[in-house]
Amino acid sequence: MVKIVINGRATEIADNTGLRDLVVSCKVKPEAVVAVLNDHVIGKDLWTDIVLNEGDRLELVSIVGGG
């Protein structure tokens, strides 16, 4: 298990968990979320390439449309 922080909450995830897999498991629509990993915005095209590591800090920010 790997300990990370998701939206300010300490969480344990399985070893070798990918960013995209984690976002999907959080039951949010990937197209409606911005991922900020360790203070860096991660483009959706890179989500499948990133494996989360011990101590990572992830913020999943929902995109809200409006007028």
List pLDDT tens digits, range 48-67: 999 999 999 999 998 776 66
**Which structural domain, as residue segments, surrounds residue 6?**
2-62
Q: CATH code at 18?
A: 3.10.20.30
Token pair belonging to 48: 């499948």
pTM listed for this prediction: 0.88
Say if 19 falls within a structural domain. yes
Token pair belonging to 63: 């995109």
Say if 67 falls within a structural domain. no
List pLDDT tens digits, range 8-55: 999 999 999 999 999 999 888 888 899 999 999 999 999 999 999 999
Contact 38, 67 (CB under 8 A): no
Q: What is the pLDDT of residue 66?
A: 65
Q: Determine the longest span between alpha carbons in the chain, in angstroms.
A: 43
